[in-house]
A and B are shown apart, each in its own frame.
Chain A
């Protein structure tokens, strides 16, 4: 067993953790900005944007992967721009981050929006009568009050980013040491008949997920007390 551990390629663990952390950071920033941007809007525009921001959570990962390929690929608007700068996005590590951030983003956005909606309306109304701008209310009152929700959303986003497979495979592929995350390593190990290796990664992912959710529940219980 020791020898097997020794000849195991550990790079998927590092790639997965790095990808998930960076993707969570992006999802967090974008989730906050989206919640901020949507807040002065009302009616149809708000409803439409809300659907758009939630879609990545419910769409099949292959659909997202295909959409990302169109955007980021050689002929896509974003891909082309970066190519002009001498950087190819698809099948790079950046692509794993983008795929993971896109699927994780709705979890931050929705939990944050839910916590903001739970705030007693008299609090923002009091802020208005005291002269605070709408933006000031978001950044100085609503967001600090939503920190527990933001943390919960980030943890869920991290867990989701860690598990991202379909879109990642389509836009980043399976390049060992660069884009091969744990879920991708599991798939190719299982495909190649290396069940022991696949099982080892499965147990590692389960352990990480368990610890993350456990820590979140612990923190949640403490903040409620």
Chain B
């Protein structure tokens, strides 16, 4: 099973361009809200139509604008888990699942439904109405319904964001089990990088309407390449950088001249550094170590965020950097400290 996506669609304010191919693996799609993530899935499912391009599911071309192919969503074999699960409110759990197995013979249909109910642990809830179910049970019903429709690929649209936080981790585990047993391609859309990191093998970033390829998730977080990818991967400190040497940049916003570990390529326009990578300088350490003023400290239950600005006198305004460290690593309450931005931790980013 596989998918080959290469299409574009004009949306309000931007053009969505998707180019992605995947085999039997779990692909995460990371993007801010309104970036076109859901639209991407809807185009694959066939409930929205791209303006141009091709969509191939399992070797079958289901959309090709040039050849005027547009297979109806009913025939695309694309299982779609909606954010709010979209159960049919006038049908019981069993009816919700049964309707997905329509068109099958009575015997086969019955076994499909009972199999789906058993696999999703819905025994005893067959006659319940969706409004009586908890969020987790609703999701299991929606998954059982997808199971009964025997899809070739699976698409999940922010499946956990409608849940209360105390339910989320248990439902997320159930979903992970489900995805683990699913044999085909899975597309998992979310704005939550941690969720995607746990659930997926590879992650694609939707950046300015463009989704070009998926990268290994470890690689993506270690080296996001673009400023949007860095922002989405959780990097709080991002600033424009000016190349001043092979391995040197100047960052006006922070008023810092920094040394980098790798060569600064021409297209590098931004630099980023994770808050937890900024550390106190070791005695005698010089490279990328500067005196900072601590402007403010914000405490979370288990960590502290510290906002720091370079003390060197210079024209212009310096924007504070955010430094994170766990509570317990008690730092003295001095307001002037020497911190180090390790060169190998600097993210060199394209626009």
B78 touching A122, Cβ below 8 Å: no
A126 touching B90, Cβ below 8 Å: no
In the bound complex, CA of A163 to CA of B103 (Å): 47
A193 to chain B, nearest CB (A): 55
Asked if B47 lies at the interface with its beta carbon under 8 angstroms from chain A, I say: yes
- Give the contacts of A125-172 with B (CB-CB under 8 A): 125-133, 136, 140-141, 144-145, 147
- Known A-B contacts A129-B78, A131-B100, A131-B102; the reply to A120 vs B45 at CB < 8 A is no
In the bound complex, CA of A132 to CA of B86 (Å): 14
Asked if B82 lies at the interface with its beta carbon under 8 angstroms from chain A, I say: yes
Q: Which residues of A contact B146 (CB under 8 A)?
A: 130
In the bound complex, CA of A50 to CA of B151 (Å): 37
Q: Which residues of A contact B72 (CB under 8 A)?
A: 128
Most B CB within 10 A of own CB, among A122, A127, A131: A131
In the bound complex, CA of A120 to CA of B82 (Å): 11
Q: Which residues of A contact B86 (CB under 8 A)?
A: 120, 122-123, 125-126
In the bound complex, CA of A145 to CA of B100 (Å): 18
Asked if B135 lies at the interface with its beta carbon under 8 angstroms from chain A, I say: no
Asked if B245 lies at the interface with its beta carbon under 8 angstroms from chain A, I say: no
A17-59 vs B, CB cutoff 8 Å, 1 = contact: the mask equals: 0000000000000000000000000000000000000000000
A126 touching B82, Cβ below 8 Å: yes
In the bound complex, CA of A122 to CA of B102 (Å): 20
- Give the contacts of B74-91 with A (CB-CB under 8 A): 74-76, 78-80, 82-84, 86, 88-91
B80 touching A123, Cβ below 8 Å: no
Q: Which residues of B contact A133 (CB under 8 A)?
A: 74
B259 to chain A, nearest CB (A): 51
A225 to chain B, nearest CB (A): 12
A65-103 vs B, CB cutoff 8 Å, 1 = contact: the mask equals: 000000000000000000000000000000000000000
In the bound complex, CA of A122 to CA of B157 (Å): 11
A116 to chain B, nearest CB (A): 13
B146 to chain A, nearest CB (A): 7
B341 to chain A, nearest CB (A): 45
B266 to chain A, nearest CB (A): 45
B339 to chain A, nearest CB (A): 48
A126 to chain B, nearest CB (A): 4
**Nearest-neighbor residue (CB-CB) of B89 within chain A:** A145
Asked if B145 lies at the interface with its beta carbon under 8 angstroms from chain A, I say: yes
Q: Which residues of B contact A125 (CB under 8 A)?
A: 42, 45, 47, 73, 80, 82, 86
B92 to chain A, nearest CB (A): 12
Asked if B179 lies at the interface with its beta carbon under 8 angstroms from chain A, I say: no
Q: Which residues of A contact B47 (CB under 8 A)?
A: 125, 128-129
A130 to chain B, nearest CB (A): 4
Q: CB within 8 A of A128: which of B74, B84, B90, B142?
A: B74
A120 to chain B, nearest CB (A): 7
Most B CB within 10 A of own CB, among A126, A127, A140: A126
In the bound complex, CA of A123 to CA of B88 (Å): 7
**Nearest-neighbor residue (CB-CB) of A125 within chain B:** B47
Asked if B309 lies at the interface with its beta carbon under 8 angstroms from chain A, I say: no
In the bound complex, CA of A128 to CA of B72 (Å): 8
Q: Which residues of B contact A128 (CB under 8 A)?
A: 45-47, 72-74
A130 touching B90, Cβ below 8 Å: no
A14 to chain B, nearest CB (A): 37
**Nearest-neighbor residue (CB-CB) of B76 within chain A:** A129
B80 touching A132, Cβ below 8 Å: no
Q: Which residues of B contact A122 (CB under 8 A)?
A: 82-84, 86
In the bound complex, CA of A123 to CA of B90 (Å): 12
B308 to chain A, nearest CB (A): 45
In the bound complex, CA of A147 to CA of B89 (Å): 12
B45 touching A132, Cβ below 8 Å: no
Q: Which residues of B contact A147 (CB under 8 A)?
A: 90
B102 touching A132, Cβ below 8 Å: yes
A99 to chain B, nearest CB (A): 35
Asked if B99 lies at the interface with its beta carbon under 8 angstroms from chain A, I say: yes
Q: Which residues of A contact B73 (CB under 8 A)?
A: 125, 128-129
A129 to chain B, nearest CB (A): 4
Asked if B149 lies at the interface with its beta carbon under 8 angstroms from chain A, I say: yes
Q: Which residues of B contact A132 (CB under 8 A)?
A: 74, 99, 102
A145 to chain B, nearest CB (A): 6
In the bound complex, CA of A128 to CA of B74 (Å): 5
Q: Can you give 5 A-B contacts (C-beta < 8 A)?
A: A126-B80, A129-B149, A130-B145, A136-B102, A145-B88
Known: A120-B86, A128-B46. 17 other contacts (CB 8 A): A120-B84, A122-B82, A123-B86, A126-B86, A128-B45, A129-B45, A129-B46, A129-B47, A129-B76, A129-B78, A129-B151, A130-B100, A130-B149, A131-B75, A131-B100, A132-B74, A144-B90
Chain A residues with CB under 8 Å of chain B are 120, 122-123, 125-133, 136, 140-141, 144-145, 147
The 9 closest A-B pairs by CB, nearest first: A126-B86, A144-B90, A128-B73, A130-B100, A129-B80, A122-B86, A125-B47, A122-B82, A130-B149
